[in-house]
Amino acid sequence: EKHTKRMNQLAQSLVQEGQNPYERVVSIESHLARNYRYTVSLPNIGDKNPIEAFLFETRRGHCEYFATAMVLLVRSLGIPARLVNGFRGGTWNDVGQYLSVRQGDAHSWVEVYLEPYGWIPFDPTPASDEGLPQQTKLMQWLRHSYDSSRMLWMK
């Protein structure tokens, strides 16, 4: 855990209006989602601290940057927070009748411990404008058919 004085100052400035830990956490989450851009094409930052470069210079990154930055900002306020990695979403395959979860569905988010509720999930990552182009029904059916045949072969 390495939050710097600069990160702590940013966190303090973001939560001045927060009346309780929940409002402070939401202020940080909202700030990141509104003022930073999602990208998988990371800029070259050399040997700089990647989270500091994300927060104060490039202001763009993927979900791990958003979630890690939020955890460090929240922790700098003395509020327990943890990074969570997993999968979000998936695509229902009508041909094979199963949920297809791919590596592209991997995601990082944050859980914050708030009394008396326990661990509450937060996601500071904004929606991506780098997604796949819209697929026609035929393209989707072909992709699902191919994926379904692969699944049957593996079984």
Verdict on whether the full-model pTM lies above 0.85: no
* 94 carries an active-site annotation: no
Closest by CA to 122, choosing from 17, 2, 7, 33, is: 33
* Angle at CA of residue 7, ends 66 and 104, nearest 5°: 10
123 counts as catalytic: yes
The predicted-structure confidence for 110-143, as pLDDT tens digits, reads as follows 999 999 999 999 999 887 654 444 556 666 556 6
15-66: pLDDT as tens digits? 988 789 999 999 999 999 999 999 888 888 888 889 999 999 999 998 899 9
* 62 among known catalytic residues: no
Which residues does 68 contact at the CB level (< 8 Å), separation at least 6? 51, 83, 108
- Nearest to residue 40, comparing CAs of 104, 134, 91? 104
